[in-house]
């Protein structure tokens, strides 16, 4: 064994006798069968080298074993991971198939929804066009009515002015002939007889004008206006019938105080009309927003927007025409007011001016309101 002291014993013959004497040497003695002694210490380094090689091989075996165990563990883990990934892949395929089915279902629903939305957009477009047509018809109808009112007012104004100037002239000539034939009649009696005639003539003229205006108003009321249209239908309110009320109050006594009231009423009518236009514009904008919220094709939405913009353009042009007609109405009213103010001195003939100082004082009292109304 390694580490054992090897020794050998050598038998030596000492002397001439046949007996041998063993001489013990260091180490273990090994006696060859032939009696030859061999020294064992010569193989010790070789055995040590073999043991070293065996130890190195054992260490390498342990290292390989450890590596093999590690690689085996990693391989088992990878196999488990592959199994999990395969299961997840199968689940993903099932989810993909389910999502594909949902996508097909949603596509079918989208087609149906687009069809419904296209129908709704078509209905809304039709309603918008109908409303726009009603608005255009109402604006044109009101413009025509306003123009007719202005024409009638101007015509009646001219006719009434001619009648009013003709009647005082004829009355003045009759009074002159009567004064020539009746020079002895007192001036007080002539004045007392002339004033009731003038008042009666004024009342007759005012009543005829009122009857004519009322007749035309009844004719206008017989026209068929659509009540369901909320745009600009001519309704019989205080603002819309203000012009007729002015003509019905065409008496001389009311002509002096109606200037400011007419201005205020006309301004109120204009403000109400502008507020009505703003409300209509707001309704149009709400309709556009409703179309945008409901969605649909972009082409249909762009077409609807273009139609709405065109209708709004036309609507604003009608508003400008309306304002111009309002200015014409105001001009006609001022002409009527001025003509009513001029009638007061026209009823007094020039022939009686010298003999009636009290009438001149009355004319001087009537002139300032007329000047104020002209201003």
Q: What percent of the chain has pLDDT over 70?
A: 48
CB 8 within 8 A of CB 30: yes
Bridge partners for 37 per DSSP:
31
d(CA 316, CA 354) in angstroms, rounded, equals 59
pLDDT tens for residues 345-358? 544 444 444 444 44
Q: Is the dihedral of CA 24, 28, 34, 38 positive or negative?
A: negative
Mean pLDDT of 272-298: 71
Q: How much is the pLDDT for 209?
A: 66
Residue 289 dihedral angles phi and psi, to the nearest 5°:
-60, -40
Query: What does each C-alpha distance from 150 to 146, 315, 333 come to in angstroms?
Result: 6, 22, 9
Return mean pLDDT, the chain. 68
Mean pLDDT of 5-11: 46
Instruction: Report residue 370's pLDDT band, with 50, 70 and 90 as the boundaries.
Output: very low
Query: What does each C-alpha distance from 45 to 5, 42, 286, 341, 366 come to in angstroms?
Result: 13, 7, 111, 157, 161
- Give me 295's structure tokens: 């969605």
Residue 27 dihedral angles phi and psi, to the nearest 5°:
90, -175
Given a cut of 70, is residue 26 above it in pLDDT?
no
d(CA 22, CA 127) in angstroms, rounded, equals 143
Q: How much is the pLDDT for 42?
A: 63
Lowest-pLDDT range, 24-33, 53-62, 258-267?
24-33
Mean pLDDT of 188-215: 63
Structural domain boundaries in the chain: 7-65, 117-181+189-223+241-348+367-374
The DSSP result for 350-370, as a single string, is STTSTT-HHHHHHHHHHHHHH
d(CA 65, CA 200) in angstroms, rounded, equals 143
Query: What does each C-alpha distance from 275 to 1, 134, 157, 310 come to in angstroms?
Result: 126, 19, 32, 20
Alpha helix positions (H), the chain: 44-181, 187-221, 242-248, 252-255, 258-294, 298-346, 357-374
Instruction: Report residue 75's pLDDT band, with 50, 70 and 90 as the boundaries.
Output: very high
Query: What does each C-alpha distance from 82 to 72, 75, 76, 189 come to in angstroms?
Result: 15, 10, 10, 135
pTM above 0.75, yes or no: no
CA nearest to 345, candidates 330, 364, 329, 372: 364
């Amino acid at each position: 064994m390694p580490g054992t002291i090897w020794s050998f014993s050598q038998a030596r013959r000492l002397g001439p006798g046949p007996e041998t004497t063993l001489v013990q040497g260091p180490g273990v003695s090994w006696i060859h069968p032939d009696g030859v002694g061999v020294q064992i210490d010569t193989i010790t380094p070789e055995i040590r080298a073999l043991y070293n090689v065996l130890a190195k091989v054992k260490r390498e075996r342990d290292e390989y074993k450890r590596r093999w165990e590690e690689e085996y563990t990693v391989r088992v883990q990878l196999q488990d991971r592959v199994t999990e990934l395969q299961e997840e892949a199968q689940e993903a395929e099932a989810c993909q198939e389910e999502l594909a089915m949902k996508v097909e279902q949603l596509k079918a629903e989208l087609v149906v929804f687009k069809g419904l939305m296209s129908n709704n957009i078509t209905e809304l477009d039709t309603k918008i066009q109908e409303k726009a047509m009603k608005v255009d018809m109402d604006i044109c109808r009101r413009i025509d009515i306003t123009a007719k009112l202005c024409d009638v007012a101007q015509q009646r104004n001219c006719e009434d002015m001619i009648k009013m100037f003709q009647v005082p002239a004829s009355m003045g000539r009759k009074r002159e002939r009567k004064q020539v034939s009746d020079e002895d009649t007192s001036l007080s009696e002539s004045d007392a007889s002339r004033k009731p005639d003038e008042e009666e003539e004024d009342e007759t003229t005012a009543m005829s004008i009122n009857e004519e205006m009322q007749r035309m108003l009844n004719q206008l009321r017989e026209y068929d206006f659509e009540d369901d249209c909320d745009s600009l239908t001519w309704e019989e309110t205080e603002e819309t019938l203000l012009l007729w009320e002015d003509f019905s109050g065409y008496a001389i006594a009311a002509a002096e105080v109606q200037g400011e009231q007419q201005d205020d009423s006309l301004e109120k009518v204009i403000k109400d009309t502008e507020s009505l236009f703003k409300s209509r514009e707001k309704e149009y904008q709400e309709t556009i927003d409703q179309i945008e919220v409901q969605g649909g094709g972009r082409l249909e939405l762009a077409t609807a927007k273009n139609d709405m913009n065109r209708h709004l353009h036309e609507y604003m042009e009608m508003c400008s025409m309306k304002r111009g007609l309002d200015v014409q109405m105001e001009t006609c009213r001022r002409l009527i007011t001025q003509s009513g103010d001029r009638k007061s001195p026209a009823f007094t003939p020039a022939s009686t001016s010298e003999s009636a100082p009290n009438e001149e004082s009355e004319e001087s009292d009537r002139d300032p309101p007329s000047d104020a109304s002209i201003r």
